[in-house]
Amino acid sequence: MIAIYPGSFDPITLGHLDIITRSSQLYRRVIVVISRNPNKNPLFTVEERIAQIRKTTQHLDNVEVDSFEGLTITYARDRQAKVLLRGLRVLSDFEKELQMAHTNKTLASDIETVFLATSTEYGFLSSSLVKEIARFGGPINHLVPEHIALDVEKCYGNTLR
Ligand code: ADP
């Protein structure tokens, strides 16, 4: 079975990587897919994020990276994916995610949203938090892969390491 894991991944964190690694053991193929959202103002371009995720997941044979614009369920159908993966951290994720899952179900009854609970050590972790810490010069190398930490630090002009 093919699963897609849509998100912004701006940038990919160890929390995302944990979800990708665990789901790659559950599904034949996992497609990590960046939604091209013109309303967001990302730190990294879509092309940069694709390269970052590819490097981060290069050891996982059945993981692919792509981007799309439009409805997630349209992309899922195009790729013959029956599963839309999302990660759940805190209660506030639940409300938003459940609403999205219900909406997608009304649009595509053949596609299931599957939630994976975060691993306890990453329950607090988000891309925004990583950017917030880096903006003020704090350490992020325990939150993202090493090459991502370097990319983020470069964006904020942190070259002290
Ligand atoms: P989006 O803008 O679609 O929420 P994100 O890149 O923030 O994109 O997140 C993509 C998915 O990964 C979401 O389902 C989110 O809940 C999940 N996620 C993000 N961080 C973590 C984490 N630390 N642990 C588990 N899931 C996570």
Domain ranges within the chain, ordered by starting residue: 2-120
Give residue 39's pLDDT band: very low, low, confident or very high (50, 70, 90): confident
Q: Is the pLDDT of residue 156 over 60?
A: yes
> Is 0.85 surpassed by the pTM of this model?
yes
What is the reported pLDDT for 90? 83
Q: Answer whether 9 contacts ligand 1 (Cβ < 6 A).
A: yes
Q: How confident is the model over 51-79, as a mean pLDDT?
A: 97
Q: Catalytic residue positions?
A: 16, 40, 89, 127
Give residue 159's pLDDT band: very low, low, confident or very high (50, 70, 90): low
What is the reported pLDDT for 92? 79
Nearest CA to ligand 1 atom 23: 15
Choose among 114, 96, 98, 95: nearest CA to 106: 98
**According to CATH, what is the number of the domain 2-120?**
3.40.50.620
Q: How far is the CA of 158 from the centre of ligand 1 (A)?
A: 25
Q: Answer whether 87 contacts ligand 1 (Cβ < 6 A).
A: yes
Q: Calculate the average pLDDT of the chain.
A: 94
Q: Answer whether 113 contacts ligand 1 (Cβ < 6 A).
A: no
Q: How confident is the model over 113-120, as a mean pLDDT?
A: 95
DSSP 29: E
Mutate to test the pocket of ligand 1, among 8, 14, 16, 34 (most ligand atoms within 8 A of CB): 16
Range 68-89 burial, b when 16+ CB lie within 10 A, else e: beeebbebbeebebbbbbbbeb
Q: Is the pLDDT of residue 88 over 80?
A: yes
Choose among 122, 132, 127: nearest CA to 90: 122
Q: Is the pLDDT of residue 161 over 70?
A: no
* Percentage of the chain lying above the pLDDT 70 cut: 98
The more confident residue out of 114 and 160 is 114
